[in-house]
A = this chain, B = another copy of it.
């Protein structure tokens, strides 16, 4: 039984752009869909799988299989394959060159979340291992705004260093970070050369830390963030709020980081110890 088992082969595009949520299936409706919906689900699933293959580097040299090969490998109709590829082209993930075929535009860097936290030494080839350089937007002392003060547990107006930069990899912007750091750490971060990445800066400034917390979400890039990162306004960005605390648990840095979703993904691993979680 192939992937297309629950769908049809109609060439109709069943999507309703701008539509509201619709109930796609009642609880008892397991393997039957209206023809158009089943077809649309097939396109979405195939798109997810091809995207995963492209982003994960499964296609040698970034060269995608032919339509016929994709049809065979996924048990899909030609129309389904074409629509899935068309979605990925619209997203900017792949490009088609007449006479040559379809290839990946670029792969995102898949970086271990623990390395992004700065709690382990990054792999040699990691983007997080001194392989970016900062384009500094601001490094100035300001009075901590209310939210920053609240998060860091100090009175509003406490002096802090705002350190804002764009992380460039091979001259391409990857993320935009705004850090708000308290003193005394701020003095070291202000006076040390900022040459590669944030953790290298911290290390070279002699700023030790004990814990890093991320809240990871996604947002549409507003026009300014889009311009800074070189993406289209409205394109999705990963947004992390990071709080860094010293070894005693005192938070001394709050950062907002806007990361190009087409260039970066987090990899996280959880191991289960059956005795432990009960």
Which chain B residues lie closer than 8 Å to A268 at the CB level? 113, 117, 213-214, 216, 268
CB within 8 A of A137: which of B25, B143, B166, B241?
A: B25
In the complex, which of the residues A31, A140, A223 has the most CB atoms of chain B within 10 Å of its own CB atom? A223
Residues A156 and B21 in contact, CB atoms below 8 Å apart? no
Which chain B residues lie closer than 8 Å to A216 at the CB level? 113, 216, 238, 265-268
The answer, yes or no, to whether A138 is at the interface (CB within 8 Å) is yes
The answer, yes or no, to whether A170 is at the interface (CB within 8 Å) is no
The answer, yes or no, to whether A272 is at the interface (CB within 8 Å) is yes
Which chain B residues lie closer than 8 Å to A15 at the CB level? 222-224, 227
Interface positions of A from 100 to 118, Cβ below 8 Å from B: 108, 110, 113-114, 117-118
Residues A1 and B41 in contact, CB atoms below 8 Å apart? no
Give CA–CA (A194, B47) in the complex, Å: 26
The chain B residue with its CB closest to the CB of A272 is: B119
Which chain B residues lie closer than 8 Å to A75 at the CB level? 142-143, 145
- Segment with Cβ contacts to B, from A2-10, A124-132, A181-189: A2-10
Residues B3 and A267 in contact, CB atoms below 8 Å apart? no
Give CA–CA (A171, B64) in the complex, Å: 40
Residues A27 and B118 in contact, CB atoms below 8 Å apart? no
The chain B residue with its CB closest to the CB of A145 is: B74
The chain B residue with its CB closest to the CB of A69 is: B146
Give CA–CA (A146, B73) in the complex, Å: 5
The answer, yes or no, to whether A220 is at the interface (CB within 8 Å) is yes
